Amino acid sequence: VTVEDPARILARVDGYLHLVPLSGARAHEIDRFTLFRSTTAWSYYARPRPPEASGPTTDFTATDIERLWTRCRELRVPLSLEWVHQLAPSLAGAAVAAGLVVVEHPLLVLRPADFRPAAGPAGVSVEIVAADRTALVTARAVADVAFGVPGTQVGEAGAGERDGTAAKVGAARGNALLERTRNGVTVTAVALRDDGRPIASGQHQPVGTVTEVVAVATLPAFRRRGLAAAVTSLLVTDAFERGVDLVMLSAQNDDVARIYERLGFARIGSVAAAEPPDLTTTGPT
Ligand SMILES: CC(C)(COP(=O)(O)OP(=O)(O)OC[C@H]1O[C@@H](n2cnc3c(N)ncnc32)[C@H](O)[C@@H]1OP(=O)(O)O)[C@@H](O)C(=O)NCCC(=O)NCCS
């Protein structure tokens, strides 16, 4: 067994994060950043170019951000930045100095040797969703409802809210989900109740030997039964079966990170994101 050092793992994660948007966006190089301009039904963001490409300097300043912000305004793309904090440690301060709001999320990784799978609770089955528009849209509706009720606590919203939300997912998003599933760009897993309908869902997006688990979500009424753990476990199993050997994810917060740590994920750093404080802010004048 070869042990990969943390710096190498962070570089692989960063390389992955710089490639994965290309399934739904075009890359525009703007100074020290790559702006991913969406070609699909949801928006993307800009990232600092990987350290090899932009040179060893990591001394970002507010001026770098302001130039990017000006260019985004010219292109009519809202400014949104994401990066691995440990690979661009000066970027958070620069973003704050330029007037952006910065948030950080725990970055976790899992190697095959560390995986501790979790089965779902009795009466619930977990499965990978086929390239079926209705099934994909219903799984997406589970996520839309769940992300509308943040945190890990049990709540009221359940199957009724899911079905009401499914009607609002929209043709463009439905088409994009179907095409991405057909192409193997996105893999969706669900936990199904005995009526065969989903109550938890999640996705992973393999690129080569790395994948990211995203959008893990449980309807509020069905939380704290082990469904997120079971859905994530199936996504990881699927990824390793496809030849992936590094699964990453950024967790909403420490409470959510604990769910993944029980499966064997370990913290390796943090993912940072920066945006203007409100939608009416249009950037430097
Ligand atoms: C985060 C989220 C996906 C977790 O879903 P979940 O299905 O409730 O997750 P799990 O049941 O696997 O784990 C949640 C907790 O229930 C506990 N639990 C699991 N099975 C249990 C059982 N049978 N009895 C009691 N507790 C149980 C877990 O140990 C965990 O406890 P902890 O908070 O002390 O660590 C869900 O709360 C959610 O959708 N939140 C909003 C969206 C979001 O933030 N998603 C995460 C993106 S990274």
- pLDDT one-digit tens code per residue, 3-32: 678 889 999 999 999 999 999 999 999 999
Please report the atom of ligand 1 found closest to the CA of residue 258: 35
Atom of ligand 1 lying closest to residue 260 CA: 12
CA atoms of 142 and 221, how far apart (whole Å): 11
113 CA to centre of ligand 1 in angstroms: 24
Give me ligand 1 centre to Cα 145, in Å.
15
For residue 5, the model assigns a pLDDT of 87
Write the pLDDT tens digit of every residue in 214-244. 999 999 999 999 999 999 999 999 999 999 9
Residue 270 has pLDDT above 80, yes or no: yes
Question: Which position has the higher pLDDT, 1 or 72?
Answer: 72
The pLDDT tens digits for 124-133 are 999 999 999 9
The binding-site residues of ligand 1, defined as CB within 6 angstroms of any ligand atom, are 121, 146-147, 150, 152, 200, 216-218, 223-229, 251-252, 255-256, 258-259
The rounded Å distance from CA 83 to ligand 1 centre is 26
Look at residues 82, 125, 87 and name the one whose alpha carbon lies nearest to residue 100.
82
> At 72, which helix (H) or strand (E)?
helix 62-75
pLDDT score, position 3: 67
Are residues 256 and 86 in contact, defined by beta-carbon separation less than 8 angstroms?
Answer: no
What pTM was computed for the model? 0.94
CB 248 within 8 A of CB 10: no
Read off the pLDDT band of 281 (50, 70, 90). low
Q: Which of 45, 18, 44 has its CA nearest to residue 212? A: 18
Question: Which strands make up the sheet holding 125-128, listed edge to edge?
Answer: 25-30, 33-38, 46-48, 81-84, 266-275, 101-110, 246-250, 210-218, 198-204, 187-192, 125-128
Q: Rounded to a whole number, what is the distance in angstroms from the first to the last CA of the chain? A: 55
| Spacing, Cα 108 to ligand 1 middle (Å) | 17
Q: Which residue has the CA at smallest separation from atom 22 of ligand 1?
A: 225
Q: What is the pLDDT of residues 174-205, one digit of tens each?
A: 999 999 999 999 999 999 999 999 999 999 99
48 backbone dihedrals φ, ψ, rounded to 5° = -65, 145
Residue 122 pLDDT exceeds 70: yes
Residue with the smallest CA separation from ligand 1 atom 28 is 224
- Whether residue 2 is predicted with pLDDT greater than 90 in this model: the reply is no
The mean per-residue pLDDT over the stretch 58-70 comes to 93
Classify residue 236 as exposed, middle or buried by CB count within 10 Å of its CB (0-12, 13-18, 19+). Answer: buried
Ligand 1 centroid – CA 205 distance (Å): 22
pLDDT of residue 282: 56
On whether the CB atoms of residues 234 and 247 are closer than 8 A, the answer is no
* Per-residue model confidence as pLDDT tens digits over 45-61: 999 998 765 544 568 99
Going by CA atoms, what residue is nearest to atom 31 of ligand 1? 224
Helix (H, G, I), strand (E, B) or coil at 258: helix
Pocket test residue of 104, 142, 218 for ligand 1, highest count of atoms within 8 A of CB:
218
Residue 279: pLDDT band (50, 70, 90) is: low
User: Residue 83 pairs with which residues in a beta bridge?
Assistant: 272
* Spacing, Cα 203 to ligand 1 middle (Å): 16
Q: What integer is the mean pLDDT of 118-129?
A: 96
Q: How confident is the model at residue 147 (pLDDT cuts 50, 70, 90)?
A: very high
Ligand 1 center to residue 278 CA distance, Å? 30
Summarised one tens digit per residue, pLDDT across range 70-96 is: 999 999 999 999 999 999 999 999 999
Which residues are bridge partners to 239 per DSSP? none
Q: Mean pLDDT score of the chain, rounded to an integer?
A: 93
User: Residue 23: what pLDDT?
Assistant: 94
